[in-house]
Structure 1
Amino acid sequence: MVKCVETKGKAELGAWVSIVSYIILAISKLIVGSIAHSDGVKADGWNNFSDILVSVAILIGIKIAKKPRDRNHPYGHSRAENISSLIAAFMMMSIGIDVIIEGISSVFQSEKESAPEPFAAFVAVASALVMIAVYYFNAQLAKRTNSQALAAAAKDHLSDALVSIGTVVGIIGAQVRLLWLDPLVAALIGGMICKTAWEVFMETSHTLTDGFDEHMLTTYKQEIAAIDGVKNVADIKARMLGSYVVLDVTIHVDPNLTVVKSHEIADEVERLMKKRHNIEAMHVHIEPERTP
């Protein structure tokens, strides 16, 4: 449990880096987008604003997940991260839809006769560079802390960098009298926000309904079956609690083994899963192998 709290504490740093970066970028883009008359930059700013909500939700989830288990939560509070991500997905979808509607409306506004100011492109380029740096930082931190929430946030940072690059394309296109390109990019950015929101929703829903990667289950089963003394893996189940895997496995052993020897085999299963897959929460049930 101490190790769990320490890991969550390190993951909080990544969430704070995301929040601070997004606040600075969102404010900068919304102001510059308004001054430079760039729908694309403003949409990118709203994209970053939605990312602030996501990062705050992740931070809150990580903090709650640090709480130790109690009488009402015998498995702890790790799923708070998943619930926060689910709430964030709905927030992102709402903002994305608004950005799409505004962008499409701007495309068909005939009164827009001027292109956005060129300096808006520099803000978008700077944003892309910042997001690439934040992506690298959080991706590395996610690996060290085994935080799935932080890994998902890192992927979002990378998509944000691509969105900013797309904004630059829209601004450059508007400079050559393709005035519809900037608001069109804004609408596309809204679509990317909705796409990210949907992916977060689907992944989180899968986890909350105890969905698990069947290929990983197959790998676990094969490795456990290869342990000396294990006659058969009768059943194996796994689920996610926040960033951690909970594994339940039923194995068959020689019915003539002593209780002590059977227990040693169970300990070996636990040691192997922890060493190879960093699984610390697991239950090994032993049954005698039935002879035909």
Structure 2
Amino acid sequence: MSSLDYKNFEKNNIHVLRQAQFIASMNVTFYLVISISKIIIGSVAKSTALKADGYNGATDTLAYLIIIMGIAFAKRPKNQEHRFGYAKAETISTLITSILIIETSFWVIWKGIIDWINNSSEKPDSLAAVIGIGSGILTFTIFLLNNYFAKKIQSKPLLASSEDQKWDSITAVLTGLAILISELGFPWIDKLTAIVIGLLMFRTGLFILNSSAFKLIDGFSNELLNQVKLELEKFNQIEKIVKINGREYENDIYISAIVKVDYHLTVNDTMDLTKNMKNYLQRKYGIFELDVQYVSE
């Protein structure tokens, strides 16, 4: 990463958030059209699986709306009450999204079981298969675009949503194929597919829930923390890293450390040392916030 001062980094972050908000808005429109189409055609074509896939898409529509609100809130500048800013609003929006996905998955599973029991002999129309496969191909194309832009602007909520979108595309294609098989004299496969879709939704929601909850309680990668510790130990003035902690606010990383130094070091020496360490971490890891406490014997 090239050397930047923190004000430029903040401006870049706001620009990234605006880009993420625009991409999320486009996805809301896409998912809204696709999910409504699946639910309506699923009802007309008597396909429980396609309707379940439509409800899956509906949760994604709401998910992107929640992400948009989270990103909008995250753009607020730092103040006295929020010295680290509002970046965790993005993580909170991801957490809410995961809960929404899990809740809907239970409903989809229940609906699939009920339809299996009550209408196990009813075959879906071939139109449902066409819509399922076609929407899957289209969704995968949108996933490739979203994944590219999410990585480019390093938006973690968008990355999480794009991964969900990849599975949505695969699920849609498999749903269409299952509907085709159902028409050959196995109508129960349509209902079973709906239940499987519900289970996949639950799995996805649980994964996102665990990831966002980990960040909200200030979980931090041990691997990255150990890397930072090793980098700081390279500075000759440092005798020992007594303690080091890290926290992550979406694209911002904050490191705090207690380090042992020789007691001959002056205040100016430690100030220069802190500046050098901060510049080094900035260039190598994009870490702009470093809080260091010095101790000596």
User: Which interval holds the TM-score relative to the shorter structure?
Assistant: over 0.9
The residue number in structure 2 matching 1:2 is 11
- Residue number in structure 1 paired with 2:64: 55
SS of the aligned residue for 1:221 comes to helix
Asked if 1 retains the 8 angstrom alpha-carbon contact of 2:49 and 2:175, the reply is yes
Equivalent-residue separation in structure 2 for 1:13 and 1:207 (angstroms):
24
Q: Does 1:103 align with 2:112?
A: yes
Please give the alpha-carbon distance, in whole angstroms, between the structure 1 residues aligned to 2:23 and 2:239.
44
Partner of 2:241 in structure 1?
233
- Which segment drifts farther, 250-259 or 266-275? 250-259
Q: Which amino acid aligns with 2:41?
A: V
**CA distance in 2 between partners of 1:6 and 1:287 (Å):** 40
- Of 92, 108, 116, which residue of structure 2 is paired with 1:83? 92
Counterpart check, 1:166 vs 2:174: yes
Which consecutive aligned stretches of 4+ in structure 1 deviate over 4 angstroms post-superposition?
Answer: none
Structure 2 residue identity aligned to 1:256 = H
Partner residue, 2:198: 190
CA distance in 1, matches of 2:280, 2:255: 12
User: What letter is aligned with 1:142?
Assistant: A
- Counterpart position of 1:94: 103
TM-fit CA distance, 1:254: 3.2
CA distance in 1, matches of 2:293, 2:261: 10
Correspondence for 1:113 among 97, 121, 127: 121
Task: Calculate percent identity across the aligned residue pairs.
Answer: 25
| Aligned mates of 2:53, 2:151 — CA distance in 1 | 28
1:33 is displaced (CA, Å) by 0.9
Q: Which residue of structure 1 aligns with residue 264 of structure 2?
A: 256
Say whether the 8 Å CA contact 2:254–2:289 is kept in structure 1: yes
| 1:62 CA drift (Å) | 0.6
TM-score norm. by structure 2 comes to 0.91
- Gaps (5+ residues) in structure 2? 1-9
SS in structure 1 opposite 2:292?
Answer: strand
Q: CA deviation at 1:228?
A: 4.0
Distance across 2 between alignment mates of 1:141 and 1:224: 33
Tell me the alpha carbon deviations over residues 141-186 of structure 1, each in whole angstroms, 9 at most, x when there is no partner: 2222222111111111111112112202311210221111011100
Q: 1:73 aligns with which of 75, 79, 82?
A: 82
Residue 12 of structure 1 is matched in structure 2 by: 21
| SS of aligned partner of 1:75 | coil
Root-mean-square deviation (CA, aligned residues, Å) is 1.7
In 1, distance between residues paired with 2:294 and 2:149? 37
Go from structure 1 to structure 2 and tell me whether the alpha carbon gap of 1:213 and 1:130 turns closer, same or farther (over 3 Å shift): same
CA distance in 1, matches of 2:33, 2:50: 14
Number of aligned positions between the proteins = 288
Q: Kindly state the Cα deviation for residue 93 of structure 1 after the two structures are TM-superposed.
A: 1.8
* 8 A contact 1:81–1:149 mirrored in 2: yes
1:40 aligns with 2:39: no
Q: Which deviates more, 256-265 or 271-280?
A: 256-265
* Closer, same or farther: CA 106–217 of 1 in aligned 2, 3 Å: same
TM-score by length of 1: 0.92
Secondary structure of the structure 2 residue equivalent to 1:60: helix
